[in-house]
Structure 1
Amino acid sequence: MRVLPPARHGDLFDTDIGGTVVLIDGVYHQSPALRHKEILAAMGRGVRVIGAASIGALRAAELAPLGMLGVGAVYAAYARGDIEGDDEVAVGQCPDGDWDALTCPLVNLRYTLGLARSAGVLDGTRAAVLLAALREVYYPERTWPAVRAVCRRQGETGFVGWLDEQRGRDRYFGDLKRADALAALRAALDPAPVKRRAVVEPWVWQTTYFRRWSNAAACERVDGMLLSTEDRIVYQQVFDPAFGERWTSYLEHLSRRPVDGRPGLPLAARLARVTGGDLPADRVFHPPLDLRDAHAVALLLAGESAQDRQAVARYGAALERARRSRPGFSTPAVRDEVTRDVLLRVWACTEAEFDAQASARGLVGGARAVAAAKRLVPGFLEEIDTTREAAHAGW
């Protein structure tokens, strides 16, 4: 069993996640949340996905008809429609990697208020007033001191005293999310046979967006470095003088083995059917890359050297330094004209030839080439500055 941090967008693209995933918590404010189609794709690969307690319960309620298994009271409340929003399970956490919740989620407070009603500490009306008041507190600020303060302002000092007494006896008193998380782990470890899950067909999750997310998550450890496959291919598209040949080989591969199951054809024959052979294949066919296709990746990286991989690592580090040192910096913020100038310089082509060069390298046209190459620009310019400084020091 592996215990991992709260799930985030991209985590389920990991092919080594195992046969069962128990989804409990997930990030969603400071980072992109885990998306439904990522869960569906994992299930499509045969992974059993169990959700409980937090984002896991919400996703399980949404995806139960497609085979995701929900466990616990929070899941049941979402499934019945008793609760709806993700604010019900949201908590604040430290940004330093400590996964402990620093604030109180509404589901726990709702459950605790129910326990107080059962104990005769509150009646239904007073419990509802307290819940409404607590809901008004922004979730990262809903700490236990804040909960106590809100309850005292509502005149419920007796409830505060009762709650402190219960929590003094049991630090997990009222922690419904924890109870559900433990129940989900027990369900995952239960050797009893489970009900047959629905089959998730690829068309449910195989979208343009999913392919884009999958490509962004693709990585491989090479030469002791964990490198983005997408970054490696873009580097080759920009810097490999012979990449046009690699792209043609990729088009040939797709033409002979269409992903949609249609009969394969030699690329020349397919091109003749469409244009009579008057245009180069890269001007006619613009297939999207799918970096899960190992053979296609091998074709596109056929010209890659160890020095290229080291450069990809350096450029990635330069991009990360730019993000950390310049507030608000992002890759799309790299200026179009600077990126275009870099490409014109590297490709040694004129403005009139720019679109054709980009197309031959599988980048469709100049605009897409600029968008793809922006990730390389900080590193490229940094290397030029370093070279100039070294040359100047040698004079």
Structure 2
Amino acid sequence: MIGAASIGALRAVELAPFGMLGVGRVHAAYARGEITGDDEVAVGQAPDGDYEALTWPLVNLRHVLELAREAGVLDGEWMGGLLTALRAVYYPQRTWSAVRAVCRRHGQDGFVRWLDGQRERDRYFGDVKRADALEAVRVAATGGGTGAPGFAGQVPVWRTPYFLRWSNAALRTVVRGLTLSTEDRVLYQQLFDPEFPGRWADFLAHCSLHPTDGGPGVPLGRRLAEAGATGMAAHQVFHPRLDLRDEETVARLLAGESGQDRAAVARYADAHAWARRSRPGFTVGAVREDLACHLLLHQWRVSPERLDVTASARGLVSGARAVDALRRFVPGLLEDVAAGTAGRRVEVSCAGG
């Protein structure tokens, strides 16, 4: 993966330990710490979709000022003052007209005339971002880079919540001709399998004996005692983030899955896709929270006061997260209820919903 010219250059510096390759002047400036913020590369663009930059980013202005100093048009003292003044202009308003106005206000008419002349001869004069982007394309096309400096091919363990959320959402499996989201299959079990709390308790015990961080395995009771939580249920104390790339994790959580369950997951995915096609702007977040909560309470046959503890026992941490998880299934669930075809685990009523 190559990063250059803009936010990609900044990301290449941040992800260098993981092998991302940075290219160009902007990346080098970030790597040396000469610049740090994303405001250095931000530009305003044309609203009609052609992505033409309408404003000057600070990295280009820095470069132009340096070229003017080398040409004897500016001295070092004026360079710093002009850069500070130009930085104070909000980036969507930093047009060429605004740059001219700031420079003239600081008595640098000569610099403006010089820059006008350079731009007449070359419309891309001083455009470091464009030069870096072209260099990145060249490197990608010629294979002129295999990783960041010092990268030896040994990728560190990287399991941030954001990465796990992305990787879990991307996983798909084909089971007996059905292409299903692994995440949806697990969530379906958490939400609809009446036996899942016992399965989650067994999973927590397994995690305690076989931690993924390489630490020593410890019986769950001892781990609870070490956490000062003797007498508490493990699900109230430990909330491991699921990595659905791990086959054993998936196998344990889906141990009670039936063919009927998989068919329901596929049907609900189709209903969700249809809702998005037929209702422009539809998202999971558009599903009413009160409706999802009503359906979940009826499915679990619990009072609102028991929602949090029931959700926790199913590995969903809290009632709010469980309600949010159910939202993706609501379009299909309502279709099943309306048709009177809800499966053996989906026993809901829409009365009052």
TM-score when scaled to structure 1? 0.62
| 1:148 alignment counterpart | 100
1:347 maps onto 2:304 in alignment: no
1:45-124 alignment runs, 5 A limit: 53-62=5-14, 69-93=21-45, 98-124=50-76
State the Cα distance separating 1:219 from its structure 2 match.
Answer: 4.1
Q: Secondary structure at the match of 1:305?
A: helix
Code of the aligned partner of 2:156:
E
**What CA distance in whole angstroms lies between the structure 2 residues aligned with 1:383 and 1:262?**
47
8 Å contact from structure 1 (residues 235, 312) kept in 2: no
Q: Whole-Å Cα distance in 1 between the matches of residues 155 and 328 of structure 2?
A: 35
> Given residue 308 of structure 1, which amino acid in structure 2 is its aligned partner?
V
**Structure 2 CA distance for aligned equivalents of residues 217 and 243 of structure 1:** 21
Aligned residues: 326
Would you say the 8 A contact 2:7–2:38 is kept in 1?
A: yes
Segment drifting more, 74-83 vs 247-256: 247-256
Q: Which residue of 2 aligns with 1:305?
A: 262
Equivalent residue number for residue 177 of structure 1: 129
Task: Indicate yes or no: 2:311 matched with 1:358.
Answer: yes
In the alignment, the residues of structure 1 paired with residue 46 and residue 264 of structure 2 have an alpha-carbon distance, to the nearest angstrom, of 39
Cα shift at 1:107: 0.6
- Give SS of 1:111's match: helix
Query: Post-superposition shift, 1:366?
Result: 3.7
2:80 is matched with which residue?
128
- Segments of 5+ residues of structure 1 without an aligned counterpart are 1-20, 25-52, 389-395
The separation in 2 between residues aligned to 1:169 and 1:122, in whole angstroms, is 20
Residue 60 of structure 2 aligns to a residue in which SS? helix
**1:253, CA displacement in angstroms?**
6.6
Q: Distance in 2 between matches of 1:293 and 1:90?
A: 39
Match of 2:3 in 1: 23
Query: Is 2:248 aligned against 1:291?
Result: no
- Equivalent pair of 2:204/2:220 in contact (CA under 8 Å): no
The whole-number CA distance in structure 2 between the counterparts of 1:271 and 1:346 is 30
- For residues 148-167 of structure 1, the C-alpha deviation after alignment (integer angstroms, 9 at most, x for no partner) is 34344445444344333323
Q: 1:229 to 1:106 in 2, by over 3 A?
A: farther
Amino acid at match of 1:197: F
Give 1:104 deviation, angstroms.
1.6
State the alpha-carbon separation in 1 of the partners of residues 84 and 200 from structure 2. 60
Secondary structure, in 3 states, of the residue corresponding to 2:172?
strand
TM-aligned CA deviation for residue 137 of structure 1: 1.6
Partners in 2 of 1:187 and 1:153 — Cα distance? Answer: 42
Does structure 1 conserve the Cα–Cα contact (< 8 Å) formed by 2:82 and 2:106?
Answer: yes
CA deviations over 1:263-308 (Å, ceiling 9, x no partner): 889xxxx678889xx9998678654311222443355453442442
- Residue 201 of structure 1 corresponds to 156
8 Å Cα contact 1:253-1:296 kept in structure 2: no
What 5-or-longer segments of structure 2 have no aligned partner? 225-230, 341-353
User: Is it true that 1:234 corresponds to 2:191 in the alignment?
Assistant: no
Q: Which amino acid aligns with 2:82?
A: L
Contact preservation (8 Å) 1:108, 1:175: yes
Q: Distance in 1 between matches of 2:63 and 2:250?
A: 51
TM-aligned CA deviation for residue 215 of structure 1: 5.1
The one-letter code sitting in structure 1 at the alignment partner of 2:27 is: Y
CA deviation string 1:69-92 (max 9, x = no partner): 443222332333332322111223
Distance 1:170 1:85 in 2: 28
Distance 1:359 1:83 in 2: 45
Q: How far apart, CA to CA, are the structure 2 residues paired with 1:155 and 1:298?
A: 72
Is contact 1:247–1:362 with CA below 8 Å preserved after alignment? yes
CA distance in 2, matches of 1:233, 1:334: 23
Q: 3-state SS of the aligned residue for 1:82? A: coil
Return the offset for 1:111: 0.7
1:58-117 CA-partner distances (Å, limit 9, x unpaired):
344455577654432223323333323221112234677655434221010111122223
Q: Does structure 2 retain, via aligned residues, the 8 Å contact 1:22–1:185?
A: no
Distance 2:159 2:314 in 1: 25
Classify 1:149/1:309 alpha carbon distance in 2 versus 1 (closer, same or farther; 3 Å): farther
Q: Give the letter for the 2:322 counterpart.
A: A
> Given that residues 200 and 314 in structure 2 are in contact (C-alpha distance below 8 angstroms), is that contact kept between their aligned partners in structure 1?
yes
Mean Cα deviation higher: 311-320 or 135-144: 311-320
In 1, the alpha carbon distance for the partners of 2:111 and 2:179 equals 53
Change (3 A) 1:156 1:381: farther
In structure 2, C-alpha distance between the alignment counterparts of 1:99 and 1:221, rounded to whole Å:
38
Q: Deviations over 1:131-173 (max 9, x none)?
A: 2222122112223343334344445444344333323332321
TM-score by length of 2: 0.67
- 2:350 corresponds in structure 1 to none
1:295–1:146: structure 2 CA closer, same or farther, 3 Å change rule?
Answer: farther
Q: Tell me by how many angstroms 1:128 deviates.
A: 3.4
